[in-house]
Structure 1
Amino acid sequence: MKQRPAIIGVTGGSGSGKTSVTNAIYEHFKGHSILVLEQDYYYKDQSDLPFEERLKTNYDHPLAFDNDLLIEHIEKLLKYEAIEKPVYDYTIHTRSENTIHVEPKDVIILEGILVLEDERLRDLMDIKLYVDTDADLRIIRRMVRDIEDRGRTIQSVIDQYVNVVRPMHNQFIEPTKRYADVIIPEGGQNHVAIDLVVTKIQTILEQKSIL
């Protein structure tokens, strides 16, 4: 009988480097059966709300996420069933009509700012990683990303950080650090920590007879 897939949770604040850590792990195991499932594809469908209401969405709050659907999809993948991953359209602030077909794999990396906040998600994970990066580095990274990739102004990025991102981080994201099995300082730049994590993941996969 085939073993249940392994689930690796990767979290941390916006700009912490969690995506770099996810990519480093993925690259190491990419010759094997592995997929990345991003929590931010699972923002709630808001098509029932007027556009003006959707504009008020706080994307850093746990209530913004449709964790019920995310958990339903993970449970399907754990049974080696394919899923249709939702796509979120930020231009209309609701879910797109398009989906992405995802085939099941032996290793699932679940990545997002609040994947450790929901106990139901934590209970599905074999290893939980928290990428811990100082706030000044996170705001600089976010600023560069939002200005270069999203055409934002410096002032709008600062306003959003001060009014939404920082308080949500302190209230909801930072406290989930206590649930992590491994805390990785400085994200993808920390090659020693990533090497140690990869070794631990290899052990888990060997125990599950996946490698």
Structure 2
Amino acid sequence: MRVLLVEDERPMAVVLRDGLVRHGMVVDEVARLSEAEAALHSDIYDAVVLDRRLPDGDGLSLIKWLRAKGDVVPVLVLTAKGDLIDRVAGLNSGADDYLGKPFAFEELLARLRAILRRPVHMQPDVVSLGRMSFDFTHREVHIDGVHLRMPRRELLVLEALMRRMGRMVLRETLMEAVFGMNDEIESNALDTHISRVRRKLADTEAGITISGIRGVGYLLREIS
């Protein structure tokens, strides 16, 4: 899952970014509306966590811009404004949820997961292929019910492939799912993670394999 974090208070941004990363998400962090618009122009996100008060304007204007062009990406608004009028204004602008500061990170995580489960973004919580099942909510992999531990990057690779299983996933799509725009990426980083995931699937006899077309992308499929 790739999240755009729009927060200009640096200490808050660091806490939120690190917390979301610990829960298996790729996080792109910006501090201004103009930077958020540029990021949303060039990349696809599963959700946006948006501060209301930003140096170059009201965060709600970003939501109005998104909805005007038909973009339904879920948006969770964070704000020091917590009264009813402000919450209503946020929701009426097209926000999916509204969280007043201060808040516990666990609540933010729960609300973020909740808006991602709503019907317009609905998909099964657990998807199975071969002898493997992938739990998208808790980001867990099981082989015949036995938990398989995997590092975060490998989980992100496998998640992106499972969301599109049976279809070729372009390298660019996988790169966006696994790496943030501020990550330092070696030229063979994606191939290295793919190789490690492929090896684990083979070692555990998961009954699935990852096929690749050099320079194009990868396909996750069941072994017949």
TM range (shorter): 0.3 to 0.5
Decide which structure has greater strand share.
Answer: 2
Which is bigger in relative contact order (C-alpha 8 A, separation at least 6)? 1
